Structure 1
Amino acid sequence: MKKVAQPPRSYADIIRRSFTSLLLTIGLIIVLTVSVTLTIDQLVRAQEQAARLSANLQVTQVSNFQDWLTVNRGSGLNSHNTFILIKNTNGSTTSLLPNGKNPTLAGSWQVPFTHLIYIKKMGLYFSETLTAGNKTYLLYIGMHVLLGNLHVLIAVLIIAIGLSLLIGLLFVRRLANRISQPTIELAHAAQQAAANPEVTQPKLPQPTEPVEINQLAKDFNQLLAAQNDRLRHERQFISDASHELRTPIATIRGNIKLIERHSAKHPEVIPESLGFIDQESLRMQHLIENLLHLSRADRATVDLQALDVATLAQGVVNHYQPLVSQPLTFDGPDHPAMALGDTDMLHQILTALLDNAHKYSPDDQGITVTVAQAENTVTLAVADHGRGISDADRQHIFERFYRVDASRSNQVEGSGLGLSIVAQLVQLNQGQIAVTANQPQGTVFTVTLQAAPQS
């Protein structure tokens, strides 16, 4: 048979059920404890009374009800709740009851491990066998007072527990509403935020207490802040990409229309227009390739290997020198500088940094590539003597499509994605990149990698 799933419970339901169970458990424990304590106390008293009666019986022989009353007074027993059976030497039994009746012990039930016996139609009794002289006395002390006290006690406790439960449930309901209110408000705010995922989300309410809800709201707000920042970057990226693609497309279409209108009468415009089309299409190609690099870098996973950064940097410098007019200088250690990284990605990082230094440096100013090794790190630095980067621009140069000195951005080739790709690749290699000023003029890009463990 398939088990029916229980519906989820609210704070109020959980607290109410737990409180009711706790109160009932405490009440049951109190009832049992008091009942057992009271019963033991009554049994001890009955045992003491039986001992006193046994001592009196050693002195006074009981043969009738009047003798029994005399002995009973000295023992402190209540004659109305107590009776005795005397077993005579001839085998007969004498019953000494206040009303003169003989008790019917048939069908009586002995409580295990105790002196308590339940006599049908008479009630619960404490039984004890006493021997005095040549007679055996069967003493039965009524537990009517004990039962009466237990009935009163249980009734009082039931009333007290009922009132406590009623008052407690009202208090629990108020407490549960008070506790759950911040959670409900937080859930409603989160639902509203989730209903408009494309809109920048406001901060969720952050109650001061309970502490757990306060921390949960704080974590949610941090998550929303990260989401808002990511959404802002995506919007800016789409806007910048659209803007960068719009310019070459407009140039290509303009030159095509120029050829269509004037090529018949002025054929000399054809080579010039084709040159512009080729230039702008190449610019679009580079832009799309860079976008693909960023997209792949966002999803890439890298298996870092130990490699010699000094050898890699020396090879890139030697290969790059014939392609640029600035003199390149390599400064590195004589021994291998082993770091954890990916060879292809580090090659791409260094090439992109050299491209950046080449574009923003005069032809007669050199570019220096430095590799240095510390105890736990290996650094790769590219320093130029170009125009430099202001402090305000340094905070944004790794953002996508950001161009330093926008008024002259058209004079320098590029899409503004090169340093964004570099930053992403450095992160994939579990490294860090920093940009500082190069004295007296210029910029230094420093990539810090983890040193490879020595075998």
Structure 2
Amino acid sequence: MKKTKVPRSYAAIIRRSFTTLLLTIGLVITLTVSVTLSVDQLFRAQNQAAQLSSNLQISQANTFQDWLTINRSSGLNAHNTFVVVKNSDGSTTSFLPSNRVPNLTNSWQVPFTHLIYIPKAGLYFSESLKMNHKTYLLYIGMHVLLGNLHVLIAVLIIAIGLSLLIGLLFVRRLANQISRPTIELARAAQQAAANPETTQPTLPQPTEPAEVGQLAKDFNQLLASQNGRLQRERQFISDASHELRTPIATIRGNIKLIDRHSAKHPEVIPESLGFIDQESLRMQHLIENLLHLSRADRAQDIDLVPIDVAKLAEGVVTHYQPLIEQPLNFHGPATPAMALGDTDLVHQILTALLDNAHKYSPNDQAITVTVAQKDDTVTLAVADFGRGISKADRQHIFERFYRVDSSRSNQVEGSGLGLAIVSQLVQLNQGHISVSDNHPQGTIFTVSLTAAPAKES
């Protein structure tokens, strides 16, 4: 069974990293100092061996007293230095600081060095010298080196241990200080996630560490966006319920009227059926608009292709003119106005704008559709001579169920979703829609689309 890896906290990660770093530094320092000290001692031993060899060449050591004299003149410790002389006749003479003769039989040489280890005697620096049919084997003890290394390693171990203890206490405090803002942020996020249907509170934003502060800032921006979306959804549901409640209540009221009074007053039947038909048609349009909005909200990637906006708009104007009383005028360039967009969506945008102009324009005032191209933008404008839209209302006209001049909302057909759908469709076409005043009165809706790149010849 595979063991599940438990996620580590900030404190655990920092403690482990710090411990590893400190141990690595301590090991590197120990090795560096040990190697440096060893090399220094080897050079000292080599210089002393050279001095001793030079003295032996000047004064031969035939007795132990001679050896002591030569050894003292070299500055060596007599207790850690001895010489073995191999005579020409094969005999061996040993000059030792004591009567004990080391056993050189089982000694072994350290590779690539003059160091030799003699069992029960220790580590020595060895050097050989041939002179007057004799071979002098010099052995200089490295006991001082080993003693210094032992002391050094002990001191470093104690120093590293104390540093590790103090460092872990410091790191624990530092880790808690660093992780506290993150933990508080996580707790606040959990509390916010526990109540997804309520307006999310602002998460605490620490000043340090800067990364956690930036993360909290990004979270708050995300929550603000989510709160706005949640508020719009609630308003949308409330407005949709309100818009649907009115025609349903009207239909039910007329059905009850027919049921109660049709026998004695049959004249109420045609009138009530007319109201039922009118309100059911209104409810049908509302549901269709809601479906359009739902599809637009779900749409993600739209394939934008080059389309001739002037030709498309002229065709829409030609087919729309018989449906309304206001005269329709079209102005467009003589050459194709190619823009990147979706043909069906642009057709729907223009139709919705013409519907809006038709509803709010006098029957004797013309509606003008204009297509123009400037630099890298193609504009599609619909201008009417209605009552116009105030600057305060312009900030809300693309919101769902918003109606300009609420006192006239019952006189003008519509659900307040048309311009919201237009705005959504324009965004899907990666365009922009703006509202401006017409002269002497009225409104101009202008849709800006990106011009299609010119084809290479």
Counterpart for residue 83 of structure 1: 82
* Corresponding position: 1:322 with 2:322: yes
| Equivalent residues of 1:371, 1:379 under 8 A apart | yes
Amino acid at match of 2:335: H
Counterpart for residue 222 of structure 1: 221
Counterpart for residue 386 of structure 1: 386
1:99-154 superposed Cα distances (whole Å, 9 cap, x missing partner): 12221012212111111111100111111112233221101111111111111100
* Corresponding position: 1:31 with 2:7: no
Alpha-carbon shift at residue 388 of structure 1 (Å):
0.7
- Hey, what's the Cα distance between the residues in 2 that align with 1:250 and 1:347? 35
SS in 2 for 1:330: strand
- Hey, what's the Cα distance between the residues in 1 that align with 2:355 and 2:331? 18
Amino acid at match of 2:216: A
Counterpart for residue 159 of structure 1: 158
Equivalent residues in 2 for 1:234-313 (5 A)?
234-300=233-299, 301-313=301-313
Amino acid at match of 2:331: D
SS in 2 for 1:13: helix
- Hey, what's the Cα distance between the residues in 2 that align with 1:276 and 1:365? 30
Amino acid at match of 2:448: T
Identity over aligned residues, as a percent? 80
| Equivalent residues of 1:54, 1:131 under 8 A apart | no
Equivalent residues in 2 for 1:37-56 (5 A)?
37-56=36-55
- Hey, what's the Cα distance between the residues in 2 that align with 1:4 and 1:413? 67
Distance 1:368 1:22, change over 3 A: same
Alpha-carbon shift at residue 454 of structure 1 (Å):
1.4
1:33-70 superposed Cα distances (whole Å, 9 cap, x missing partner): 01100010011011111111111111111011100011
Equivalent residues in 2 for 1:39-438 (5 A)?
39-300=38-299, 301-438=301-438
Unaligned runs of 5+ in 2: none
Amino acid at match of 2:88: T
- Hey, what's the Cα distance between the residues in 2 that align with 1:99 and 1:55? 24
- Hey, what's the Cα distance between the residues in 2 that align with 1:406 and 1:127? 110
1:188-232 superposed Cα distances (whole Å, 9 cap, x missing partner): 000000001001001100000111101111111111111111100
TM-score (norm 2): 0.98
| Equivalent residues of 1:429, 1:449 under 8 A apart | yes
Q: How many residues align?
A: 454
Unaligned runs of 5+ in 1: none
- Hey, what's the Cα distance between the residues in 2 that align with 1:409 and 1:248? 14
| Equivalent residues of 1:20, 1:165 under 8 A apart | yes
- Hey, what's the Cα distance between the residues in 1 that align with 2:251 and 2:434? 38
1:61-106 superposed Cα distances (whole Å, 9 cap, x missing partner): 1011100011111111110110110011111111111112221012
- Hey, what's the Cα distance between the residues in 2 that align with 1:179 and 1:130? 67
SS in 1 for 2:78: coil
Alpha-carbon shift at residue 3 of structure 1 (Å):
4.5
Amino acid at match of 1:93: T
Counterpart for residue 9 of structure 2: 10
TM-score (norm 1): 0.98
1:413-453 superposed Cα distances (whole Å, 9 cap, x missing partner): 00000001111111111111111111221111000111112
1:344-371 superposed Cα distances (whole Å, 9 cap, x missing partner): 1111111110110111111122111100
| Equivalent residues of 1:434, 1:445 under 8 A apart | yes
